[in-house]
Amino acid sequence: MKLENLNKEQMKAVKQIGGPILIFAGAGSGKTRVLTHKIAYLVQEIGLPPENILAVTFTNKAADEMKQRVQHLLNMDVSSMSVGTFHSISARILRREIHALGYNNDFVIYDQGDSRALVRGVIRDMDLDEKTFVSKAIQGHISRYKNQMIGPEIFIKTAVGYFDEKLSEIYAQYQNSLQNNNALDFDDLLLKPLELFNDHPKRLEYYQQKYRYVLVDE
């Protein structure tokens, strides 16, 4: 593998092994080039098996490009390497493990429209005023709480006033409906692996052993 097309700092980053490293640089400065060369370096020079590498990025297009670049650098099959978006990697883990959380492994993934329809159904089932409890806004509240890792069982304890109390009930019923439908929304794709690893440390240990090197391209 040739490293001649890397500058001094990029070369240093590629060869730095054995601890965390942060590459902070502007757009178009070669961060992805460093990351793909580092993956190739780990496989070809360090001897790390491709299946022990996890590379994560934000879009499917970027993930595909990353895999193609690594394939070109190594000139070998890298299909065993886990390269994908945060959501796709999480979904891959959950397809194998989510039965431990009470779901079937053939769960469905709700898009934004599906989630909003489910929220609207919960609001109607609770016979709430849809002008006060607007499904789009309620969906946004639920998503924000999920991203803050505040589940309905936590939110209900801190709810103050009529709106928050009803919102906590909607949130709880929405989450129950998702599970009854064997479904996850996009936020769940990121949260359920954390729940899995917190509740089942042996599964966390398995993935810690499997992925010996984790690279994130932001």
At 120 the pLDDT is 98
> In the predicted model, is pLDDT for residue 65 greater than 70?
yes
Mean pLDDT for 124-153 is 96
**Sign of the torsion formed by the C-alpha atoms of 89, 91, 96 and 102:** positive
Give Cα separations from 122 to 105, 110, 117, 144, 166 (angstroms).
25, 15, 9, 18, 11
> In the predicted model, is pLDDT for residue 2 greater than 70?
no
At 196 the pLDDT is 97
Mean pLDDT for 36-64 is 93
At 94 the pLDDT is 98
Mean pLDDT for 9-31 is 87
At 1 the pLDDT is 60
> In the predicted model, is pLDDT for residue 73 greater than 70?
yes
Mean pLDDT for 88-106 is 97
At 16 the pLDDT is 92
Average pLDDT, the chain: 93
Spatial distance between the Cα atoms of 133 and 153, rounded to a whole number of angstroms: 20
18 pLDDT band, cuts 50/70/90, is confident
At 31 the pLDDT is 87
Burial 50-64 (b: 16+ CB within 10 A, else e): bebbbbbbeeeebbe
Mean pLDDT for 142-152 is 95
Question: What secondary structure letter does DSSP report for 160?
Answer: -
> In the predicted model, is pLDDT for residue 175 greater than 80?
yes
- pTM of this structure: 0.89
